[in-house]
């Protein structure tokens, strides 16, 4: 099922975003509603390479907020399943200490959804 792609006003990317799930779409709607400039998956960070220099692990955060210089990763996984994303985020912080990144968990999104009556169903 393809997700809707509204005509975003605060989106700063070059290509229309193709969201992986409804939670990302709804997060984008909230950012846009409040006029927070954002981009979708603008950068991939290399986390590991093999002995030949080939990338074996990378991390592409979902959103970048240029005015805050902040990357956001949105996860609707159960807390127990978010361990992998947490590990990648720790690696990102260790390898790129100048990069600000935050993981938005299901509970964070549910609070937003409750407050603004959003539909987070994937």
pLDDT at 122: 44
| Structure tokens that stand for 27 in this block | 């997060």
What share of the chain in percent tops pLDDT 90? 51
pLDDT beneath 70: ranges in the chain: 1-4, 77-81, 106, 109-110, 112-122
**Phi, psi at 36, each rounded to 5°:** -85, 115
Look up the pTM and report it: 0.82
CA angle 88, 57, 71 (to 5 degrees): 45
pLDDT at 17: 93
Residue 10, judged by CB atoms within 10 A of its CB (0-12, 13-18, 19+), counts as middle
């Amino acid at each position: 099922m393809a997700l809707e792609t509204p005509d975003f006003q605060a989106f700063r990317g070059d290509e229309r975003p193709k969201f992986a799930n409804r939670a990302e779409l709804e997060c984008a709607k909230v950012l846009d509603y409040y006029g927070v400039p954002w981009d979708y998956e603008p950068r991939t960070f290399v986390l590991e390479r093999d002995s030949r220099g080939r990338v074996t692990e990378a991390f592409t955060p979902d959103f970048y907020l240029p005015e805050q210089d902040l990357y956001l990763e949105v996860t609707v996984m159960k807390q127990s399943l978010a361990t992998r994303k947490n590990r990648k985020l720790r690696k990102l912080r260790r390898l790129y200490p100048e990069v600000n990144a935050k993981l938005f968990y299901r509970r964070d999104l549910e609070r937003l959804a409750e407050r603004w009556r959003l539909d987070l169903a994937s």
